[in-house]
Copies of this chain bind each other. A is one copy, B any other.
Amino acid sequence: MSVTTIATIASFGGKLLKLSHNASTTGCEMKFNLYLPPQATINALHKVPLLIWLSGLTCTADNCSEKGFFQHGASAKGIAILYPDTSPRGVGIQGEDESWDFGTGAGFYVDATASPWSNNYKMYSYITEELPKTVFAAFDQIDSSRVSISGHSMGGHGALSLYLKNPGKYKSVSAFAPIANPLKCPWGEKAFKGYFGDDWQKTGAQHDSTELLKQWKGGDLDILIDVGTGDNFYKQGQLLPENFIAAAKDIGQEKGVNVRFQPEYDHSYYTMASFSDDHISHAAKYLFA
């Protein structure tokens, strides 16, 4: 459970810590970043809540730390942010580095069941269990009872599916440009076939946010989603937010799924930076309720 500090960087009055640990779930060293807002460094009397941010394909913990601008809002509200990596790295599986949308940098926040991925590609267990436990053990200024989740693209799929699979575990969820129905898009089909094998549709349904939403029995939802209308991956049918909206209507939760179609915004961190304050505020509403 021990954590190694690689760097400590001053940011918006707090500290961005670059960290690593030897993760048993994934069987390799995993890097991650943790933003501690000023409230976590100056006042040990009050613990701060945590927002877990799940990044998209190809990203490491650094991309959103540098370009997402979430520290701006987190500093103002007093929220820690956990930026995990997006997959195991360097575990020596043949072909792990062949694609940008599968293997390294593309763990899809699932526990793989198919060989040769099932030994290491356990990002679902890593994100829901091992990493937060490691963080709470190492940083007692973080309140383990107040955790929200958010993410972008593959990480938006991760945030929505982890929230919907675990009612009550996270105080709130939001997403940018989520892969909202991976069973029905090329990215999701490739990943689920690879990680789940022949059984990919059945196992994949347990990780598909639109399918999970159809089964939701956790009470009233309040999900914030931003999708840019200039997002090429949205236009190509990789995101499918309309399917998620339709599922919300099917279960009478259309008011609980607020998808904002942002005119002309694209798939990049410029979009996240522009609206990160809104997502921090959305999380804060529940983390400080």
Contacts and interface: CB of A to CB of B under 8 A. Distances in A.
A11 B273 contact: yes
A218 to B, nearest CB: 34
Interface in A1-41: 8-13, 16
A72 B71 CA distance: 13
Given A66-B67, A67-B67, A72-B69, A10 B262 contact: yes
A268 to B, nearest CB: 7
A265 interface: yes
Contacts of A270: 9-11, 16, 66
A266 B10 contact: yes
B9 A266 contact: yes
A228 interface: yes
A230 interface: yes
A269 interface: yes
Interface string A60-78: 0000001101011000000
Nearest to A9: B270
A274 B230 contact: no
Contact of A274 (B13, B266, B274): B13
Contact of A268 (B9, B67, B262): B9
A174 interface: no
B72 A263 contact: no
A11 B262 CA distance: 11
A170 to B, nearest CB: 27
A228 to B, nearest CB: 7
A244 B70 CA distance: 34
Interface in A242-277: 262-266, 268-271, 273-274
A72 B228 CA distance: 18
Contacts of A11: 270, 273-274
A10 B273 CA distance: 11
A104 B11 CA distance: 30
A268 B12 CA distance: 13
Contact of A271 (B10, B262, B271, B274): B10
15 contacts: A9-B266, A9-B268, A10-B228, A10-B230, A10-B265, A10-B266, A10-B270, A10-B274, A11-B273, A13-B274, A16-B270, A66-B67, A66-B270, A67-B67, A71-B273
Interface of A: 8-13, 16, 66-67, 69, 71-72, 228, 230, 262-266, 268-271, 273-274
Given A10-B228, A67-B67, A71-B273, 8 more contacts: A10-B263, A10-B270, A12-B273, A13-B274, A16-B270, A66-B269, A71-B274, A72-B72
Task: Report, nearest first, the 6 A-B pairs whose CB atoms are least far apart.
Answer: A10-B265, A10-B264, A11-B270, A12-B274, A9-B270, A66-B67
